[in-house]
Amino acid sequence: MPSRVEFREDRCKGCLLCTEVCPTGIIQQSSRFNQKGYKVTEITPDMMSQCKGCAFCAMMCPDYAINVYTTKQAKGGKK
Amino acid sequence: MSTPERIFVKGNEAISRGALAAGMKCFFGYPITPQNDIPEFLSQALPDAGGQFVQAESEVAAANMLLGAAACGIRAMTSSSSPGMSLKQEAISYMAGSEIPGVIVNVSRGGPGLGDIGPSQGDYFQSVKGGGHGDYKLLVLAPGTVQEAYDLTIKAFDLAFKYRNPVLVLADAIIGQMKEPVVPWVPENRDPEEGQAWGLQGAKGRDPRLLKSLFLDDGALAGQNLKLQAKYQAMQAEVDQEMFLTDDADLIVVAYGSIGRIAKSTVRKLRAQGKKVGLVRPITLFPFPADVLLKLAKEGKRFLTIEHNMGQMVEDVRLSIRTVADSALHCQLPGNLPTPDDFEEPILKALEG
Amino acid sequence: MTQEIRVTNYPEVLTDRASHYCPGCQHGTAHRLVAEALTDLGLVDKTILIGSIGCSVFIYNYLTLDAIESPHGRAPAVATGVKRARPDKIVFTYQGDGDLASIGMAEIMHCANRGENITTIFVNNTVYGMTGGQMAPTTLVGQKTTTCPGGRCRENEGMPIRMTEIIASLGGVAFAERVAVNNVKNIMKARKAVTKAFEYQTKGVGFSFVEVLATCPTNWRMTPLQANKRVETEMIPYFPLGNYKDVLAKEEK
């Protein structure tokens, strides 16, 4: 079931707490700075497919900068 | 350690160093912006000098610790900023009533309430008219430079013990946080017996001593109050002010502390333009330089009080000159940082009359 | 057919704005736990927040609630006044360790002892944060701060205070628990504890208290990751997590 993570780069403070709790270890610090001067975190597109949608990253983030989405079967759908 | 010839320090550090030079043995403080450099510096320097440093649980506690330590006849100090000063008022009233000498430093900030963390002179009433209950007065010293912050802290201890009264050093966030060169000096010939004639040490071989402010017997409180008032009268001898280009001035600017210093720059600038303005900068706020102002008023000069509040010292200026003159008022609003340019227009306006 | 759903749902009461907190500061996490608890229990509309003085003085910008700013340390007293005036509302204080355990020690002890039906969220990061990292009653022995530059020393400064244990010992207290937010497992436990604390307020059984161990990377002079590690290696051993009082706990069979 594909899952994905959206990082709100305007809110990220580069604390890296999310990188520690991701069970698949796919979160990393990018080389981009946001307007406030923080180096933001990211999951690169090629790594995103490994996201399990657990949202541990979002739970750990003190700045609510992470949104996690997952896909599920719609009712009555085929597998 | 030898005294260096010149150091470049914040006002807060200058006050701390002055206190150490004056022989302060105990300091009680609590964190509050913008004076944290004082407890932080003393937390290392005072124990190094063989003294006692305590970060109290609150400003209330710190002020009461000061009362206790000073009651033993030793030099002790506390510092805070406006909201913390409000907390200390009860203890200060007790110190005044019990005639316990101590130094309280207020690095004032904007108010009322939580206010801001920038400078203001909004604590003039609290400091000079007595923020605590009852008829008492503190000697109030107002430095305008970092060197003065050092010097006046030493003086504060001397005066506290001379009169057995609490003394307030009234600075603000500007003086506290800015850095200037200071020539540190250590006073000489301090009386080794200071405070020992009345301080608490354990009544071995003598009658016990009692320091209190409760007087319930018939006439006792009245007597105590008369005694205190006589002392405050004697304190008039300590009045001090800076007079800058007042002799031939048509308009006298009255301003104290950092505002006095900034106004001095404005006066200097206007003088270069040929305007006849001068400055009186009170250095003691209590006692207030009333006689000096009255003398200038009788020479026909006009007055403009400039202060970083909504109008407090102006009442004392007006009181001093009321028989012959009045004072205009320019308020630098609390929350707005002052510059010499801010005072130019008000001074010119007052000059034109 | 598949459908994308959103896993993360931030409560509406949590204001959608950037915070002033330092990178890695866990105040934001604690605020979120409060927001989630109030939302889950349906209490948002009747809650009154009593702010305090410290880095979290601006909490009223982050939780969309009726709020009052109290003087340093006095929040439990202010909360007492509010709850007595409006007993049907949910009233809580949110305080740091300087505010609660230093200047406010008398107020928290007596509010808890009286059993005021309010909730206190106590954030313990072993320093005074807002004023620049001075020693707090919770500073650990040997920990260096700006007012104990050689490290807290037992002979001079005494031992760090364990507030949850003290609060739990007072008669009017219904619930007292210590939690941390240094990893996901602890965050989940913390959320449960905060929810329970507010739930107990609705039941009117007494004072409820949650101590949250948190980081202060700036004043500890650490990176956020190092600071988070310190919670585990230094703080939790001295401030053990767990429940210290629960008047409604069912007996273990």
For residue C172, give how far its alpha carbon lies from the nearest alpha carbon of chain A (Å).
33
C66, C113, C176, C201 from C119: Cα distances, Å: 15, 13, 10, 7
Q: Which residue of C has its CA nearest to B41?
A: C147
Q: Using pLDDT thresholds of 50, 70 and 90, give the confidence band for residue B353.
A: confident
> What pLDDT, on the 0 to 100 scale, is given for residue C9?
95
Q: Tell me the percentage of chain B whose pLDDT exceeds 90.
A: 93
Residues of chain A in contact with residue C223, where contact means CB-CB under 8 angstroms, are: 16
CATH C-level class of C27-246:
alpha beta
The answer to whether A21 contacts C14, with C-beta atoms less than 8 Å apart, is no
pLDDT score of B2 more than 90:
no
Q: What are the DSSP E strand ranges found in B203-321?
A: 241-244, 251-254, 277-282, 284-286, 302-307
The answer to whether residue A70 sits within a structural domain is: no
At B45-60, the pLDDT tens digits run 999 999 999 999 999 9
The answer to whether A63 contacts C21, with C-beta atoms less than 8 Å apart, is yes
Q: In whole angstroms, what is the distance from residue B82 CA to residue B86 CA? A: 6
The answer to whether C10 contacts A64, with C-beta atoms less than 8 Å apart, is yes
**Chain centroid to CA C170: how far?**
18
CATH C-level class of B7-201+226-237:
alpha beta
Residue to substitute from A6, A19, A64, interface C, most C β-carbons within 10 A: A64
Q: In whole angstroms, what is the distance from residue C84 CA to residue C50 CA? A: 14
Q: Torsions phi, psi of B55, nearest 5?
A: -85, 110
Residues of chain C in contact with residue A16, where contact means CB-CB under 8 angstroms, are: 24, 223-225
Q: Which residue of B has its CA nearest to C100?
A: B57
Does residue B337 or residue C186 have the better pLDDT?
C186
- ipTM of predicted complex: 0.94
C51, C61, C76, C118 from C66: Cα distances, Å: 10, 11, 16, 15
Q: Tell me the percentage of chain B whose pLDDT exceeds 70.
A: 99
- Rounded mean pLDDT for each run of 10 residues along chain C, 253 residues in total: 93 95 98 98 95 95 93 93 92 97 96 96 97 97 97 96 98 98 98 98 98 98 98 98 95 49
Residues of chain A in contact with residue C25, where contact means CB-CB under 8 angstroms, are: 62
Contact present, C197 and C175 (Cβ < 8 Å): yes
The answer to whether residue A79 sits within a structural domain is: no
At B187-217, the pLDDT tens digits run 998 999 999 999 988 888 888 888 999 999 9
Q: So where are chain B's domains?
A: 7-201+226-237, 241-352
Residues of chain B in contact with residue C130, where contact means CB-CB under 8 angstroms, are: 33
Q: Name the residue among A16, A67, A78 with its Cβ closest to that of C8.
A: A67
The answer to whether C8 contacts A66, with C-beta atoms less than 8 Å apart, is yes
- Judge whether C68 is closer than 8 Å to chain B, CB to CB: no
What pTM was estimated for this model as a whole? 0.88
- Judge whether B13 is closer than 8 Å to chain C, CB to CB: no
At A34-60, the pLDDT tens digits run 999 999 999 999 999 999 999 999 999
B241-352: what fold?
A: Rossmann fold (3.40.50)
> What pLDDT, on the 0 to 100 scale, is given for residue B280?
98
**Chain centroid to CA B222: how far?**
28
pLDDT score of A1 more than 70:
no
**Residue C80: Cβ within 10 Å count:** 21
Q: So where are chain C's domains?
A: 27-246
CATH number at residue A57: 3.30.70.3270
B139: its two tokens: 């000697």
Number of domains, chain A: 1
> What pLDDT, on the 0 to 100 scale, is given for residue B298?
98
At B74-89, the pLDDT tens digits run 999 999 999 999 999 9
- As a residue count, chain C comes to 253
Find chains touching chain B: ≥3 CB pairs under 8 Å.
C
Which structural domain range is residue A57 located in? 3-64
Mean pLDDT of chain B: 96
Q: Do chains B and A touch (3 or more CB pairs under 8 A)?
A: no
CA trace torsion B329, B153, B294, B225 (10° rounding): 100
Q: In whole angstroms, what is the distance from residue B244 CA to residue B252 CA? A: 9
C66: its two tokens: 């009726």
Strand, helix or coil for residue B291: helix
Mean pLDDT of B91-111: 96
pLDDT score of A77 more than 80:
no
Fold matches, B7-201+226-237 and B241-352 = yes
pLDDT score of B159 more than 50:
yes
Q: Name the residue among C57, C73, C134 with its Cβ closest to that of B55.
A: C134
pLDDT score of A79 more than 70:
no
